[in-house]
Amino acid sequence: MDSKTIVIALTGKGGVGKTSLSAAIVRILTEEKPDAKILAIDADPAIGLSTALGVAVSETLDDIRRRVADDVTGKLRDTEDILAEARFRLFEAMEERNGFAFLAIGRPEAAGCYCAINTYLRQVIGMLIGDFDYVVIDGEAGIEQINRRVMEKVTHLLCVSDQSRKGLSIIETIKNVADGLVMYDRIGLVINRAPLPERITEKEIGGVPVACVIPQDDSMTENDIEGKSIFELSAGARILAGAREALRSMEIL
């Protein structure tokens, strides 16, 4: 991975607006860094980030994984050949628009085991990161992807929670696990959809600095209901202001 690449991963429990915030961060980066190469990765099998960004997914990383697996089954090919093929297909699968490229992990099939191919593809993804200035990863809810080292090369880990005690209680767990498995430079917490933002006075929760507090945003809710992308959201929306504040707090902007 290029040492200049900033890799931002969003993690936290489900239902706290990680995907909306990921999309907001992508939009802010495209506006603030128009000449930068930006990659958005949907690491959630639900593939919600594509809708939030207004992207149609034609092929996922898991589709490519299975295609490469089919190609190499029963054949003797060296690692470099497999890596080169997977890398080529990943670039082919990228959807590009609005100043960013997009990749979706997809929903793996339960049957079958292609552990070696998954390893190859993780290496390819690692190589892809070096081709971009900014990578934004919308992570799966919970800590499983951190445990599986999916987030290993992340430079900026952004924990997202709502204002509930349950949501905030997992933050310390995420940090403790990430401290041993993620090579992050900075970690921060976004408290999203806060109904009582004035009650949040702590500068740090669970050992994680509070990057910003975003009040409930009816305009974002309405945008979601209407199936509009983040790029159709009013520039004055709270989630966009919060995303910008979080990026500044994390010293990305």
Helix axes 79-93, 61-72, angle to 10 degrees: 150
- The predicted pLDDT at position 1 comes to 43
Domain 6-249: which CATH number of 3.40.50.300, 3.20.130.10, 3.40.640.10, 3.40.630.10: 3.40.50.300
Question: Which residue, among 166, 125, 160, has the nearest Cα to 42 in the 3D structure?
Answer: 125
Boundaries of every domain in the chain? 6-249
DSSP the chain: --TT-EEEEEE-STTSSHHHHHHHHHHHHHHH-TTS-EEEEE-STT-HHHHHHT---S--HHHHHHHHHHHHTT----HHHHHHHHHHHHHHH-EEETTEEEEE-----SS---HHHHHHHHHHHHHHHTT-SEEEEEPPSSSHHHHTTTTTT-SEEEEEE-SSHHHHHHHHHHHHHHHHH---SEEEEEEEEES-GGG---SEETTEEEEEEEE--HHHHHHHHTT--GGGS-TT-HHHHHHHHHHHHTT--
Mean per-residue pLDDT, 23-40: 96
Amino acid code (one letter) for 48 = G
Of 248, 244, 40, 55, residue with least CA distance to 129: 40
Is 184 within 8 Å of 156 (Cβ atoms)? yes
35-49, 84-98, 166-180 — most confident range? 166-180
pLDDT at 245: 98
Average pLDDT over all residues of the chain: 84
Worst-scoring range by mean pLDDT, 97-111, 216-230, 236-250? 97-111
pLDDT at 3 over 80: no
**CB within 8 Å of 49: residues ≥ 6 apart:** 19, 22, 23, 40, 42, 55, 102, 104, 138
pTM score over 0.75: yes
Structure tokens, 86: 């997977």
